[in-house]
């Protein structure tokens, strides 16, 4: 679905992405991981066509992302930013309905899509509330609902669980997991290594703008890779047939 070739990008003269080569097919939940400043958010914006790379290519179904009509691109790729602003104090339902802007107006179809997105994110009870009255976690789930309302085959989500409590983190990652199993491509920036390894099909570990490791979770989250990328040691705990990774101490 998305293929990149040797992406390079500098911002204000500082290299941010260094030779990124990726092939991201549908049917995967891909965790984009790495320490702060590793280039994760920038890479997501380049994949979405919001920031052009200095060098290299981003192909969406074989077509350069920058040549796709903006409305068509918005139907193909839904993007959830790390701190999504709401520039007006809209109701929750009105904000989520903005996700339908890339589509031709069809009130019934749009209303059904909005209802599905609110139900999927457990925010239907908030639909009449003003966005400015929401907590940080509620706001993030509503912004996720706006992205889901697009009903795009690709979702690029920047830290979708950062402001959520543990239960909502599990529910949102379970939702993203099911979307991938249904044939979508989900690329999510994540910081919780245990949750990333539990829910993701694949991890891409960035370090200083380059790919340090890419593949199955167990192959990526080795002691050496965790130390190199995060500067910490980790311990592993087995429970119910699953292995959890806990950052333990700086190295």
Determine the average pLDDT of the residues in 9-17: 96
User: Does pLDDT of 164 surpass 90?
Assistant: yes
Going by C-alpha positions, the residue among 5, 35, 39 that lies closest to residue 225 is 35
pLDDT in tens, 96-141: 999 999 997 788 899 999 999 999 999 999 999 999 999 999 999 9
User: Does pLDDT of 87 surpass 70?
Assistant: no
Q: What is the pTM of this model?
A: 0.96
Tokens of 156: 């690029």
Round to whole Å and give the CA distance between 110 and 89.
21
pLDDT in tens, 76-86: 999 999 876 66
Determine the average pLDDT of the residues in 169-182: 97
Q: DSSP letter at 105?
A: P
Determine the average pLDDT of the residues in 62-82: 95
The angle, 0 to 180 degrees and rounded to 10, between the axes of the packed helices 166-181 and 136-149 is: 10
Burial category of 236 from C-beta neighbours within 10 Å (exposed 0-12, middle 13-18, buried 19 and up): middle
User: Does pLDDT of 178 surpass 90?
Assistant: yes
Going by C-alpha positions, the residue among 124, 126, 187, 122 that lies closest to residue 152 is 187
Whether domain 2-83+152-250 has CATH 3.40.50.300: the reply is: yes
pLDDT for 106 equals 83
Q: DSSP letter at 216?
A: S
């Amino acid at each position: 679905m998305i293929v990149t070739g040797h992406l390079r990008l500098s911002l204000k003269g500082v290299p941010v992405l260094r030779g990124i080569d990726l092939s991201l097919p549908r049917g995967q939940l891909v965790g984009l991981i790495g320490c702060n400043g590793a280039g994760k958010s920038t890479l997501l914006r380049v994949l979405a066509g919001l920031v052009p790379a200095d060098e290299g290519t981003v192909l969406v179904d074989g077509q350069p992302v920058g040549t796709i009509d903006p409305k068509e691109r918005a139907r193909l790729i839904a993007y959830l930013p790390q701190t999504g602003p709401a520039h007006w104090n809209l109701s929750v339902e009105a904000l989520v309905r903005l996700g339908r802007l890339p589509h031709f107006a069809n009130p019934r179809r749009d209303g059904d899509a909005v209802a599905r997105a609110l139900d999927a994110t457990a925010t239907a009870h908030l639909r009449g509330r003003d966005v400015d009255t929401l907590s940080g976690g509620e706001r993030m789930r509503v912004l996720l609902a706006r992205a889901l309302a697009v009903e795009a085959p690709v979702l690029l989500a920047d830290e979708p669980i950062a402001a959520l409590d543990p239960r909502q983190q599990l529910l949102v990652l379970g939702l993203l997991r099911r979307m991938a199993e249904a044939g979508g491509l989900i690329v999510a920036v994540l910081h919780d290594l245990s949750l990333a390894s539990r829910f993701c099909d694949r991890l891409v570990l960035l370090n200083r703008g380059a790919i340090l490791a890419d593949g199955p979770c167990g192959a990526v989250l080795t002691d050496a890779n965790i130390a190199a990328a995060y500067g910490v040691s980790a311990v592993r705990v087995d429970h119910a047939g699953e292995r959890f990774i806990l950052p333990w101490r700086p190295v």
